[in-house]
Every structure is written in structure tokens, then in C-alpha cells.
Amino acid sequence: MNTIIKTTELVKIFRETAQEVCAVNNVSLSINEGEFTAIVGPSGSGKTTLLNLIGGLDKATSGSIVIDGQDISSLSEKRITEFRLHNIGFIFQAYNLIPVLTAKENVSFVMDLQGRKKSEIDRRATELLTSVGLGDRMNSRPAKLSGGQQQRVAVARALASKPKFILADEPTANLDSKSAANLLDMMERLNKQENVTFIFSTHDPRIMAKARRIVTLEDGKTVNDEAR
């Protein structure tokens, strides 16, 4: 199996006034290509912070994060932004779609930033939205879409850049049970049929039930790592 993420003795300390909070405490973790992994634990356990470190959205206090052979912990802000654009897909709890853009334009945006040809962007955005069941809503803006549909657009957008893996931070938190189940079925299908690697931060037992590996954090430390 090809290891695409490797963290070694990863530490993140937040300094709040005179107090220090160790959100991630000496976490060493390897993720292989094609995994469907859930990072779980109580609120404040460090799940989202760990995802943000892996995604280059935050800087580690110490330790290293190697993605496909590249140590991102030593990259400048400009280099890490460029690296994220070409290597990492993100799905957020709050969808984070651009409200003035249509579904298709939201999916196309990341490919525009990558400098791809217009014909390729148009074709891939159409294919992705069709694959997530939104072929008939491509010209709708986010306000005209349900929460489940907006999150499907977010999945299509995350896939658009052809990333090495996708980080999903509580992706079902704002969805009703039916929309959440449909979204999870779709992501599981993408994982199994197209070998898309997903790493979730979640409280949702439905994601845990589908995950083939569960990493449990408590107080910033890994207390269990179970493959299924």
C-alpha cells in the first residue's frame, strides 16, 4: 500500500493569554492510499486541529507532516497554498460554497486557479456534478439548493482538483438523516469504485459505521487505532 500521509510526533500548542493548550500531543500516524478513515473523539480532543495540520491550514508547533514524500511542515505560506491547491481536497461542515456562483462555477473555481483549459474545466465540472446526482442543478446557486445538495457540490468541488486525498471535517453535521445517509453512500461509492482516499473528523456514528479504520483521540493523543 502506498503511504500518502505520515505524521511524526506532531504537536500543536495554542497560546491563549497566559495559558497554553496542547490540542495535538505527539501524534504519529500513517494513512495509505484508498483508506476510508474516521478520526473520532470527544469535543476538544483535537480532531479538527489534526485535520487542519494535515491540510496545511495550520502550522504545527513541532513534528513533521509528510504528504506523498513532501514535508509540508517546512513550506512557506505561499508554497503550502500552492501545494494544497494541487494535492488536497476539503469538505467543510458549513459547505463553504461561494454564494454568488452557480454549482458548476463553484466546482470550476478550483480548476480555474490551477490554470486548466476551459474545455477541460467545463467537461470535468459537468461530469462531477452528474456523478453526485446534480446534473440537473448545475446552474443553481447555493441558496436554491438544500443542505444535502450543497454538500454534494462541496464533494464535487473537492474532487475537481484531482487531489491525493480528501479531508472532511464533520461533513454530515448540518444535514438531516436522509441527506446524511445519501451523502455517505455517495462518498463510500467514490472510495470503493475510484479509490478516493477520505479522512473524516466526526462525531457521527453513521460515518464510524462505514469507516474501515477508526483513530480515536483524547486530549490530543491517539488512544486507539483500529482497522476493520
- Domain CATH code at residue 25: 3.40.50.300
Q: What is the pLDDT of residue 19?
A: 85
Q: What is the pLDDT of residue 93?
A: 86
Tell me, letter by letter, the H, E, C secondary structure of 139-158: CCCHHHCCHHHHHHHHHHHH
Strands 36-40 and 165-169: unpaired
68-77, 107-116, 218-227: least confident range:
68-77
In a domain, 152, yes or no: no
Any residues with CB less than 8 A from the CB of 221 and at least 6 apart, and which? 25, 26, 27, 46
Q: What is the pLDDT of residues 187-219, one digit of tens each?
A: 999 999 888 999 999 999 999 999 999 999 999
In a domain, 145, yes or no: no
Q: What is the mean pLDDT of the segment spanning 12-26?
A: 89
In a domain, 142, yes or no: no
CA distance 125 to 180: 23
Q: What is the pLDDT of residue 214?
A: 97
Q: What is the total count of domains within the chain?
A: 1
The model scores a pTM over 0.85: yes
Map grid coordinates 481536497 to a residue. Answer: 89
The continuous run of DSSP H or E covering 187 comes out as helix 177-194
DSSP string over 48-67: HHHHHHHTTSS--SEEEEEE
Q: Which residue has the higher pLDDT, 15 or 225?
A: 225
**Looking at the predicted structure, is the pLDDT value of residue 50 above 90?**
yes
Q: What is the pLDDT of residues 77-133, one digit of tens each?
A: 999 999 999 999 999 888 899 999 999 999 999 999 999 999 999 999 999 999 899
Q: What is the pLDDT of residue 228?
A: 83
CA distance 218 to 46: 7
In a domain, 182, yes or no: yes
**Looking at the predicted structure, is the pLDDT value of residue 17 above 90?**
no
Q: What is the pLDDT of residues 140-160, one digit of tens each?
A: 999 999 999 999 999 999 999
In a domain, 20, yes or no: yes
Tell me the average pLDDT of the chain: 93
Q: Which domain holds residue 37?
A: 3-101+165-227
Q: What is the mean pLDDT of the segment spanning 5-9?
A: 97
In a domain, 106, yes or no: no
Do residues 137 and 129 make contact, with C-beta atoms less than 8 angstroms apart? yes
In a domain, 137, yes or no: no
In a domain, 212, yes or no: yes
* In the chain, % of residues over pLDDT 90: 82
Closest CA to 46 of 80, 21, 28: 21
